[in-house]
A and B are shown apart, each in its own frame.
Chain A
Amino acid sequence: MGLVTTLGSGISLEYYVILSTILFTIGVLGVLIRKNAIIILMSVELMLNAVNLLMAAFSTYHGTSDAQVFVFFIMVVAAAEATVGLSILVLLYRNRKTVDVGVFNKLKG
């Protein structure tokens, strides 16, 4: 009882491959171009979502559900990562009064 089906409608698997490649690259661009640590974490989430989309597309086009379970696990790990990352950020902000990643250079030596 699927809502809609992409198979046979002319959308190829390549479309999803290219779409998630573009989304992943935008995530990389965000990590490189921004100095706000929160936005960098959000760009990482965007990259994870691009991979999720690719896995769901492959899962649907090849008729196996295993990849969708893996997407579920990626979401679990992303939730845990966001929680710990944000609490580290709050701690850093308490010490330095900024979220600029250029300021956090004490370990640079």
Chain B
Amino acid sequence: MSTIEIIAYVLGALSIGSALMVVLSMHPVRSVLYLILTFFMISANYILLNAQFLAIVNIVVYAGAIMVLFLFVLMLLNLSKDNEPRASKWMKLAASLAAGTLIIVLVAALKDAVYLPVEEAAMANDQGLVENLGQLLFTKYVLPFETSSVLFIAAMVGAVLLSKKEKQIID
């Protein structure tokens, strides 16, 4: 087994373990921290896959921005282990059965999947770097790129509008 193989399998096991802890940990703040750990593991997988730009963006956007937002809301709402809503035993059993069935079906369907042959010649080492992706982003995908700015404006206006305190109507 080569070193990269060992690294990949350890990263896979760690990401599955921390993802499970996100779901199973009853403390919301702990869940957020485990999710950040999962994102770091996924970023490491991106580096193994030669997608360096995605690895950095994943850390900056997910672990940096989105998870801080989650943590901020958790602190704002002052949620702790004591007022954590718990599902009933039957609900948990049904959910576990449903998720277990889903993974069995997915793995069974993917087991016999025929993959296209991997072309090592077409594979370039620099395809995941910011230069290559930036050129794609500003030529082939320039319309979706500009549209996403409209999406961001809409999300920003929506968030501000939603969280603004409504004026009390006194009648």
Chain B residues near A (Cβ < 8 Å): 1-2, 4-5, 8-9, 12, 15-16, 19-20, 22-23, 28, 31-32, 35, 38-39, 42, 45-54, 57-58, 61-62, 65-66, 69-70, 73-74, 76-77, 79, 83-87, 91-92, 94-96, 98-99, 102-103, 106-107, 110, 113, 115-116, 118-129, 132-133, 136-137, 140-141, 144, 148, 151-152, 154-156, 158-159, 162-163
**Which residues in A have their C-beta under 8 angstroms from that of B76?**
90
Q: A43-B22, A60-B49, A75-B62 are known contacts. Are A83 and B69 too (CB-CB below 8 A)?
A: yes
Q: CB distance A23 to B126 under 8 Å?
A: no
Chain A residues near B (Cβ < 8 Å): 1-11, 13-19, 21-30, 32-36, 38-39, 41-43, 45-46, 49, 52-53, 56-57, 59-66, 68-69, 71-73, 75-84, 86-91, 93, 98-102
Q: CB distance A84 to B115 under 8 Å?
A: no
Q: CB distance B54 to A56 under 8 Å?
A: yes
Please give me the 3 A-B residue pairs with the lowest Cβ-Cβ distance, nearest first: A63-B122, A32-B95, A100-B85
Complex CA gap A59/B49 in Å reads 9
Q: CB distance B110 to A18 under 8 Å?
A: yes
Partner of A49, one of B39, B121, B127: B39
**Which residues in B have their C-beta under 8 angstroms from that of A29?**
23, 95-96, 99
- Nearest chain-B residue to A91 (Cβ)? B162
**Which residues in A have their C-beta under 8 angstroms from that of B8?**
6, 11, 15
Specify the main secondary structure of chain A where it touches its partner.
helix
Residue of A3, A52, A86, A98 ringed by the most chain B CB atoms within 10 A: A86
Partner of A2, one of B125, B152, B156: B125
* Chain B proximity of A102: nearest CB distance (Å): 7
Complex CA gap A65/B133 in Å reads 7
* Chain A proximity of B157: nearest CB distance (Å): 10
